[in-house]
Chain A
Amino acid sequence: MKSKLKRAVSLVLAAGVMLSTAGCWDRIEINERIFVLGLAIDKFEPGKDVQAGEDGAEQQEEGSKQPEESPRNRLVVSIVFPNVGLLKGEGAIVSEDAKFAVSTVGPNIFEAVRQFNTRLNGNIFFGHVKAILLGEALVKDEELLMEVLDGLEREQEISRNVDVAVVKGKAKDALFIKPLVEPIVGTYIEKIFRQRKTGRFYPKNFGKVVTSIRETGGAVLPRLVVGEKEYNIAGGCLVKDRKFRAWLGELEVRAIQWLENMAGEDVISVNVNGVSVPFELTELKRRKEIWRDDAGDVNLHIILECEGNIEGYILAVDQDLMNEAFIQQVERAVEREMVAQCTGVMDKFQNEFQLDVWGIGNHIRKFRPEIWEDVKDNWQEAFTELSVDISACVKVRRVGVIK
């Protein structure tokens, strides 16, 4: 009897303790959260903020009045988040837009986000951010860019895996358009990044970008151009010495990736016998050889080993692709094309930008530490003086289903 009472008392006590101590300060119901999917950061440029995205223009500017010029207004921060109510199918009460985008002005990202707290009814959560967009003017401003990158890396909610792109023009505009295929901007950008069917932009996640800036002093970020109802992510934006250095073309960005041992399955068109032959690159392996010649100069030999398919030729009876001599002709032509593009890019980075964006210095440090000892103190100069030789070895594997 007594033990039963004891047991009952201890049970009540245990339940009481659990109920009273399990209260959690950090409990947030999922529907109280605002899941930010895209984050766009621009430099605040007074007078230039009047134009806005076509749709949702009314719901964006801070309090509908034009933000004035003041030392406090340095950044324009915009976020986009999905309409969770609509996705859940809660019908009538919720607004019909699939996503909401808002924008505000503030001295830094964090204060700007607090501005949103005065306007939005949920708890702004950055754990699911899929894309970070940086505006052109921001990237051109050394101080602001480094501030923003540090803030984003320091914030633990934002994953290091999130995709980054530099927007030509205003990053804010990207969040306010209604894309044709996928209404939610963040996921849309993420999906473009994930497909890996093209080498025309260089997908780099945020962690890789900051690592690259720390290790090599620069990074190539994808360039995003905002259209009416879609984006175009192509080409690149070169950041060097803590700020914007140059825009890079699509083919240049592709060649940069070839030299870095990664590229999407892209198509290279070469001219063989007066016909343009599309060659699909399916595999690429890059080898680096570094040695010192008799004069003491450091030499770098980059060998690209590629595999791929011929995608098309010309409809004819007398000419077929099941011909080894012809295939070899195509292979040589592709090799020439690739080497030419890579050499061009390498030359540009050695002489014009003077930036070792591939981490060749790192490679030397890892694999040829004895050479690194001599060059590490003035690597930037040594990089420009590096004699680089690029060669390619292309193998055509398949030609499609007709001869």
Chain B
Amino acid sequence: MNDQEKITSNQLMAIMLSTIIGIGILTLPRTVTEAAGPDGWMLVLAGGVVAIILSVVISRLGLMFPGKTVVEYSGDIITKPLGFIFSLGFFTYYVLFCAFEARVFAEVTKQFLLDRTPSEAIIITMLLGAAYLARQDIATVGRVGEMLVPVFILPSILFLLPGIPEMDLTNLLPFMRTSPGKLLTGFGTIVTSYLGFEALLLFQPFMARPRDAAKAMTVALSAIILIYVLAVVTAVAMFGVVEIQQLIWPTFSVYRVIEIPGAFIENIHGVVMALWVVAVYTTLAVFFFAAVTILGRILALKEYSFTALPLALLIYFLALVPNNVSQVYNYLDAFSLYLGIPFGFVLPAVLYIIARVRGMGKEGGNGREKQAKKSG
């Protein structure tokens, strides 16, 4: 990886913001309200805190093995064969994630924007664009992230302002009346909306200063928590806890209601839709990049960008597997539960604990100090 350029911690933040915000934010207000009624936004907050904790754990793990990605050090920690299985699973996870990202993108775009364009065409163009970025090195991905994050975040928030008169914040009441048991069961589904942060397992060694990863992750995830809470609060305030559960993509429906008074374009949902395309693109491209990187490293290839196009083909066919929108979301739920939670939350923590127990931390700790002196 020495021939690759390094990324700054700002670029890591941008990558994380653009990666984690993707298809999940569209359904988030509905899923949290189904889980916890008016207290849903607190679940979002709690889920984000867990994601921050896990990303700090991952960054510690990365610091123990400077210069290595999870593909290499998982072999060191849990023996080579198990590490290989882990990496393969991790690879599958990203490939499937790409497929879901592409499919949901196609479903939503067809529903709201291009109802006569074939899904295949939507998916292919998106995948080709993502494959192009996935062939580049990490620094390019970082720069694209830096460029695109403000493009989709700032206008989306600004466009909410004309909708304020339509919102009734009392819809968030009563406060803290959901039973703890209900909150806990809902929690499992909410944390998966933060998936994407675990890409740090791969990206940390590419950082110019890997020590800064934890800080950058905390800042990025905090921003995402704010954006998610904003999405949930505006949607609940606009539709109320009953109606919101009927809307498949409440975050878009919010923009369907908002009208900019006197503006040439009365309905802004088309614009917001276009911004969201950017958000999905960055998510898809980063996951694609992660899949290509893992594959290259499993196969120990020197130059692995050529795997991007065949992978695009694989993702394309996977994306077309579900029959209908309901099946897409059923599969996505299963995917989040059986792959998302293990690879995002459980396995990194397990790896960290095993590494600590096996005493690998000390070596890493020394390395960290040496590095600190060098850079200091």
Contact = CB atoms under 8 A, between A and B. Distances in A.
Interface stretch (A69-77, A210-218, A307-315, A335-343): A210-218
Contacts of A365: 173-174
A25 B174 contact: no
Given A25-B116, A161-B257, A367-B174, A156 B111 contact: yes
A290 to B, nearest CB: 13
What 4 A-B pairs have minimum CB-CB distances, sorted nearest first? A366-B173, A369-B174, A25-B117, A211-B243
B117 A366 contact: no
Given A156-B111, A367-B173, A369-B174, A211 B116 contact: no
A214 B245 CA distance: 11
A207 interface: yes
B237 to A, nearest CB: 12
A26 B117 contact: yes
B174 A215 contact: no
Contacts of A366: 38, 170-171, 173-174
Contact of B114 (A21, A25, A159, A211): A25
B5 interface: no
Interface in A176-221: 207, 210-211, 214-215
B259 interface: yes
A21 B124 CA distance: 11
A279 to B, nearest CB: 27
B174 A214 contact: no
B222 interface: no
Interface string B252-281: 010011010000000100000000000000
A160 B121 contact: no
Interface of B: 38, 111-118, 121, 125, 170-171, 173-174, 177, 239-240, 242-243, 246, 253, 256-257, 259, 267
A24 interface: yes
Contacts of A210: 243
A46 interface: no
Contacts of B174: 365-367, 369, 372
16 contacts: A25-B114, A25-B116, A26-B114, A127-B267, A156-B111, A159-B257, A159-B267, A160-B256, A207-B239, A210-B243, A214-B243, A214-B246, A215-B242, A362-B240, A366-B171, A372-B174
A211 B125 CA distance: 38
B326 to A, nearest CB: 14
A365 B170 CA distance: 10
A24 to B, nearest CB: 7
B243 A25 contact: no
Given A21-B125, A214-B243, A367-B174, 17 more contacts: A25-B114, A25-B116, A26-B114, A26-B116, A127-B267, A160-B253, A160-B256, A160-B257, A207-B243, A207-B257, A210-B243, A211-B239, A211-B240, A214-B246, A365-B174, A366-B170, A366-B173
A341 B16 CA distance: 59
Nearest to B177: A369
Contacts of A362: 240
Contacts of B114: 24-26
A207 B167 CA distance: 13
A24 B117 contact: yes
B234 to A, nearest CB: 15
A210 B239 CA distance: 11
B261 to A, nearest CB: 11
Contact of B243 (A24, A215, A367): A215
A196 to B, nearest CB: 13
Contacts of A369: 174, 177
Contacts of B177: 369
Contacts of B112: 156
Given A26-B116, A366-B174, A367-B174, A214 B242 contact: yes
A160 B238 CA distance: 12
Nearest to A215: B242
Given A24-B114, A25-B114, A25-B121, A211 B242 contact: yes
Contacts of B171: 366
Contacts of B117: 24-26
A350 to B, nearest CB: 22
A227 B115 CA distance: 39
Interface string A14-40: 000000010011100000000000000
Contacts of A156: 111-112, 256
Nearest to A210: B243
Interface string A359-390: 00010011101001000000000000000000
Nearest to B110: A26
B303 to A, nearest CB: 22
A361 to B, nearest CB: 11
A214 B239 CA distance: 11
Contacts of A24: 114, 117
Interface in A101-135: 127
A365 B253 CA distance: 25
A19 to B, nearest CB: 14
A238 B205 CA distance: 66
B155 to A, nearest CB: 20
B167 to A, nearest CB: 13
Contacts of A26: 113-117
Contacts of A160: 253, 256-257
A25 B106 CA distance: 14
Chain A CB within 10 Å — which of B115, B243, B257 has the most?
B243
Nearest to A367: B173
Contacts of B173: 365-367
Interface in A78-116: none
B247 to A, nearest CB: 9
Contact of A25 (B111, B118, B239, B259): B118
Contact of A215 (B113, B116, B240): B240
A274 to B, nearest CB: 43
Contacts of B259: 161
Nearest to A160: B257
Contacts of B257: 159-161, 207
Nearest to A150: B246
A352 to B, nearest CB: 25
B160 to A, nearest CB: 16
B200 to A, nearest CB: 34
A367 B177 CA distance: 11
A117 B76 CA distance: 67
Nearest to A24: B117
Contacts of A161: 257, 259
Contacts of A215: 240, 242-243
A377 to B, nearest CB: 16
A211 B240 CA distance: 8
Interface string A124-161: 00010000000000000000000000000000100111
Nearest to A22: B125
Contacts of A207: 239, 243, 257
Nearest to A365: B174
A334 to B, nearest CB: 28
